[in-house]
């Protein structure tokens, strides 16, 4: 695949001259979403976002895993802080999606996949004090309900001592149609 990418890139450079776009997001906005491959070439058009408009942060599940939630300085918060303090972000959208892989993680499937690839789940569970396979499922950030997960992530961002009190919104996008549903329009923020 590397050779395909490099060959494509040569054609791209011959055919395309990118306009200059500033480093700071012109809409002063950060968008947190999932890494799902079906969001590629769909997510931005569905939200009306162009290159240079927003910071886009992608994590598996558009979430912060439960062991990380307790730590206010987890990687998502760190990235948002960079966006806010260094790049002028003044609002955040958390956008989960339907049919998210993290909403249906089976502990047996997870541990078998690890074993098949030479990683010992039991050793990890012991090393990281995860108790059992369900601890691994928590560690990878699995959740049951995407709407609930979006609301929880919105609340964590709102309450983070590392971030200022800026508007945070929660949405879910239908992975098949691109339709957005509002989970939190900002009105659930505690004054
Ligand atoms: Zn997902």
**Helix (H, G, I), strand (E, B), or coil: what is residue 181?**
strand
The two three-digit tokens of residue 30, written as one number? 């950060």
Q: Tokens representing 89?
A: 């972000």
Strands 168-173 and 180-184: antiparallel
- The verdict on whether residue 28 carries a ligand-binding annotation is no
In our burial notation (b when 16+ CB lie closer than 10 A, e otherwise), range 116-153 reads eeeeebeeebeeeebeebebbbbbbbbbeebbebbbbb
User: Which residues are placed with Cβ below 5 angstroms of ligand 1, an ion?
Assistant: 34, 36, 100
70-91 tens-digit pLDDT: 777 789 999 999 999 999 999 9
Phi, psi (5° rounding) for residue 110? -65, -50
Decide if pLDDT at 139 tops 70. yes
91-138 pLDDT tens trace:
999 999 999 999 999 999 999 999 999 999 999 999 988 899 999 999
**What local confidence, expressed as pLDDT, does residue 191 receive?**
59
Tokens of 41: 């070439």
Domain extents in the chain: 21-102+143-191, 106-139
CA of 14 to the centre of ligand 1 (A): 34
Q: Look up the CATH number of domain 21-102+143-191.
A: 3.40.1050.10
């Amino acid at each position: 695949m590397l050779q395909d990418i490099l060959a494509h890139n040569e054609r791209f450079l011959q055919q395309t001259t990118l306009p200059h776009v500033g480093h700071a997001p012109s809409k002063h906005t950060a968008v947190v979403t999932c890494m799902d491959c079906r969001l590629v070439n769909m997510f931005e058009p569905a939200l009306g976002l162009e290159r240079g408009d927003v910071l886009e942060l992608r994590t598996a599940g558009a979430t912060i895993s439960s062991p990380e939630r307790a730590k206010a300085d987890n990687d998502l918060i760190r990235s948002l802080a960079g966006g806010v303090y260094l790049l002028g972000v003044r609002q955040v959208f958390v956008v989960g999606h339907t049919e998210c892989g993290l909403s249906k993680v089976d502990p047996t499937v997870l541990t078998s996949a690890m074993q098949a690839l030479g990683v010992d789940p039991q050793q990890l569970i012991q090393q990281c004090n995860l108790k059992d396979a369900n601890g691994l499922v928590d560690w990878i950030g699995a959740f049951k309900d995407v709407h609930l997960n979006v609301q929880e992530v919105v609340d964590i961002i709102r309450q983070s001592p590392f971030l200022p009190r800026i508007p945070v919104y929660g949405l879910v996008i239908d992975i098949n149609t691109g339709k957005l549903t509002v989970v939190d329009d900002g009105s659930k923020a505690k004054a």
